[in-house]
Structure 1
Amino acid sequence: MKIYLFLALALLRKASSVSSQCEELISCLDKITGKSLFDLVPPEASRDDLCVTMVNIYQGQTGIDAMCAAAAAASGRLLASTTSDSKYLRVNEIKESTPSQSRQESTFPGYGRHLAAPTCQASFSPEFADDSGSGTSYDTLMAAVEGPYLFGGKKKRSDGDAYAALFIGYLTALNAAAAATGIPVADNLAQISLSATQSTVESLNVHDGGIDSTEIQAAFENSQKILTQTCNIISQVNTFETTATTRFGNIDAAISSFQATVNTRFNTVDASITTLTNNVAIGFDTTYARFDSVDSDLDTLSSAVSTGFTDVYERFDQVEALVNSRLDAIEATLEARFTQLDDLLAIVRTLLITPDGRRTAWNNPALICDGSPTGNCATVPNFP
């Protein structure tokens, strides 16, 4: 009894697991096909049995993951997590523009991809148009894939990550369709899923093939332009060589003669430079000798000036001593004179305040000096 119960629980868990996987698988297939696949199942068919069959033909969780990755790519969700540039810019698809924008794609209304051809002359056509990726039918073909797979638009290859997820889903659907051959209902659902993935893969292959063919055409156009211009250059070189030979004769001889002349001139220049160097050296030696002579003369002059200033300082000292001596003598003389003057003024004052009859020697003829040679001036006191 326990064994039967254990087996029943195991079968129940397995059925539950299969049911969960089935829901996941059918949900992803619905996104790929754009249809509700279970709505296509006849009413009399057992959906539980169909779930087991579908999970088996898609090889379990591995196939389910592959189909769900393809479904995610179809909805554009894979691109949300990528950090790499998936636009795949190519040299043939970009052209020289301005110094600040070295390369960018150019498009014109009414044409498809415009691929730049490298130019080196104004006669080159700067670009040519290829309309393999344009038109109403092409737009209709690309309408279903342009958003999630053509990340850079119709002028770029399909996104690598999204295409890889889709292609793995296509291979899984192809194997599932083969495994479902002859199985009612499951065969039909597998074929629908295969058709959806296959049509998308083929649409992207057509688009990428158009990109390849356009690049090949661009390479051809570029090569043709380069070859044409190369031929023109070769022709111009040949014409120039003929003209040069005609006008100037043997170029090698002319070059040799020119080289000989140049060598002679350079030898002359070298000799002149050597002579000039020697003369400059002699001139500098003479200049240095003159500098030495001037330096000696300056030393002599400096010594004479120093001696002269010493003598001058001594004379100034002597003059200063003499002046000081004379000033001292003048000061002593003035002091003596002022002293005598004070004494004289004292006598005069005394005489002035003494009445006439009481003054000393008043009316004494012996003390009167009349200024004559015979006067008594000798007896009068001589006040200095």
Structure 2
Amino acid sequence: MDAVLDAIVREREPFTLATVVSTWSSAPRESGARMLVRSDGSVVGSVSGGCVEGDVHALAGEVLADGVPRLVRYGVSDEVAGAVGLTCGGTIEVLVQRVEPGDASARADDGGGAAVALTAFAAAVAAGRATALATVVDGAEGAVTRQGALLSVDDMGRATGATGSARLDAALVVDAAAVLETGRTAELTYGLDGSRQGVGIRVLVEVVAPPPRLIVAGVTDFAAAVVSIGGFLGFEVTLCDARSAFATRVRFPDAHEVVIDWPHRYLAGELAAGRVDARTVVLVLTHDPKFDEPLLEVALGADLGFVGAMGSRRTHADRLDRLRERGLDEHALARLHSPVGLDLAGRSPRETALSIMAHVVATRAGGSGLPLAGMSGPIHRDAGAGGYPVPPA
């Protein structure tokens, strides 16, 4: 579980929660980044790369004392931001609010309801379930809800917490569920009376989904390095190979799961059970056609996020011919990333694994893979929807 969410669950005294609710340009953290500040001044989490933490920490003390939420913006053109050192070129908006540890009877207008919603959100995240947290970021004078009110909505449509407006709550339960399906955090606007018509109330709907899966086929040293980096990047990693002498926990200690089976049969079973989706990455690192090709036949026929295979350019060309003989059409073959990896000129297993996973990350986010120094425009882009574009044929 996220360290801040874990701390929220454990807190027994009032604390201040700072949340990044909006970002622009090269912001150091994404929306949803948090920092918890206790009454003794101790801190869990971060809202920036260190640029504005000091200022937010001082503001948190004021909010803890008077209970009045603050919405502050830091950017390179702002006098305050320049003073505290936000030099990344971006802008962030941070909501700082006091939270009272609450129980099931806590009201939305006393800060206790926020703790109830946060606890439900944290529990869903810890359980690996998709969930959304709606935060009232701002509301003009006369709005029906308080700034900082929270509502958690899980993947079953169950809501915990309240905004103080039954009308807004009802709209958010439906809208947060829709946002949850997209897998992307979003900002929504509502009228001052809580209706979907008009503006005046801003709500951040933060989405947390279970980690994407990475299925690695092969028991090579390259596979071991990919497993390690994949786990570091937040993937739920499965190592699969039919050779029990090599597919062991000793060789792959960083895998979440080691499966001894033919990879194509394992993947077919996971597809049938609905345990893979459009975010799933499959990497074929076996260097053996009798393993590679049946697996690629299954993987390229499914709606997976990324399918990559190691090998030389000649190996790739020969593999494509054999896959055509198996009946795969050009559309399916165009989805294969091979030879997989970006040109980093590395040769060791770890360097190769870095190249492969960099290819996965760049494809997932729509990155170019080019050096930033040779490019213009914002360094940080808007996060993608988790989709993977088809590679050029």
TM score, norm. by length of structure 2: 0.18
Structure with a larger share of its residues in helix: 1
Structure with a larger share of its residues in strand: 2
TM score, norm. by length of structure 1: 0.18
Larger radius of gyration: 1
